[in-house]
Structure 1
Amino acid sequence: MNTRSNGDVAVRDVALRDGLQLTEGRLGTAGKVELVRTLLRSGVPELEVGSMARPDLVPALADTLDVIGALDEAERDRCWVWVATPGHVRRAADAGVRRFQYCLSVTDAHNRANIGRDVETSMAALPEAVRAADAVGGKVQLCLATAFTCPLTGPVEPGRVLELIADPRGAGTVDVVVADTLGQAHPRQVGELVAAAVGPAAGRRIVFHGHDTWGMGVANALAAVEAGAGMVDSALGGLGGCPFAPGASGNTATEDLLFALRPDWLDPEGFHDLVRAGDRMLAELGERSRSRASAGAHGNGREFDWTLPTT
């Protein structure tokens, strides 16, 4: 039984990477930097701020290295960048990135669609990516997409996920991210896989990355925490989705997850700051909020501290 309190669990906002992949609107570089700083000041411990994916495939993230270049060292140390090859790591490291999320899919079909190679090729390159990060004092997460279902081949066997977590080529990574890319998992399923992953992770932190396609985003994150996850992902306003995962909706909303978890650093005033930051971001993007907690904060329950005060 996991005895960790919710207040000990890190929440990572991924709006500036996963959240922006499918939006028609765009955030400028200065706006992204401002949002990074707002989130960090508010107490969000870690962020995912961009990707080394080809700009023609994910144009909203083409300025990732410009965003990194505008941050100071302390800020960069709390910001993860998506990578898929050792070359990505070296290029990002040259720009000042020190936290690298090395991603591959559990299934060959999705890995080929997403990053153009099979799973074995991605895993074979992982030690080189770790060495490139080590050379600059960096850290690498192993991120396993489609850990529950694949949009191309269907349900994924848990044993395949555990096999990749246990693969000795990932021994130099600091975290293992288990991703419900399509948002089709349910809490019992999430809890069972996360609990089973703790052993083969061999001391590495387990991170759960969920989507809210079937309305289970918060429930799945709480199940992951109960099973031993040390960090859970979310995105302001529930933004998100994968260009190569048709049918996936947005991420679990950061506002909803924080309201549920109540980490030690969060109070109503800080929550209000995050709701307002999400409002500003969504307005600039021309997107609607999918967060139920944000809707509640904008409601009429003025006797409740977590409701936004009247102006």
Structure 2
Amino acid sequence: MWPDFIPIGSEQPRAKTTPKTHGERAYAAGVSFTAGDVYPLSVTECNVRRALTSVNTRKAAGPDRLSGLVLKTCANQLAPVFTTISNHSLAKSMVPTCFKRSTIVPVPKNASPASLNDYRLVALTSVIMKCFERLIKDYICAFFPRTMDPLQFAYQPNRSTDDAVSQVLHTTLSHLDSREEGYVRLLFTDYSSAFKTIVPTRQAGKLIELGLTPLTPLTPPMCAWILDFLTARPQVVRVGRHTSNPLTLNTGSLQSCILSPLLYSLYTHSCVARFSSNSIIKFADDIVVVGLIPDNDEKAYLEEVADLSL
């Protein structure tokens, strides 16, 4: 391994105590780095092998036709090769085009589809790229507290829709019980194809806003890598034996990508209430604006709704 590489993985055991600082969380996730370094990141052969052996062999292969069964069976032989490829990708902040290719397969939602809305679009992506994404995801998560967005109830361990519903009910009932003249207004919103709305340049900016400054080893290499990951993605549509001409996408992220939920959570992190009388509770792309109205004064609630629509 090159001396300038900063390993993403190590053989150190996970800490038994709850990590509190960025460094402690990174150590617990098997990450090590030196403060102030901006050298290329790297993955270890051990972590790549572990990712390959944990592949779900029942999942369909991507455009490269490299099945999960092959990757899992030949993990020991392939780990050194893919470790080298992954480290070159991180060092140059570039994702190989063959790893970014995707095949879209329309699957009917019912027996007699009558319109395009009656089809569910299933994206097939490279299995090996998913393994690489898992390593990157663990690395990024080590830098953020698990309670960074306490009102986002999706994509987080030990949280569910029941928790989101309970939060809405608790906020509503607490206000109604404390005020005789007060009432509550709720606005339910659902963003269609939310992952496809991610703007890559804004995503990179969000990462820097959240504390990934040039003093950490995540920036600029990791932000540049994420930007390249989200852009210049070749995509084709396959229906039966027919395949369309490729189309290169430079916006959004596929729902089937391992990094997509994490990136979307960071992308919408700034979607919070401006006024203390309001709450914005999120579950993925479903958002509820809870307005606690005191004495028939809806000004704060209406401004919050107007901000959300911009």
User: Normalising by the residue count of structure 1, what TM-score does the alignment of the two structures yield?
Assistant: 0.23
Give the structure with the larger helix fraction: 1
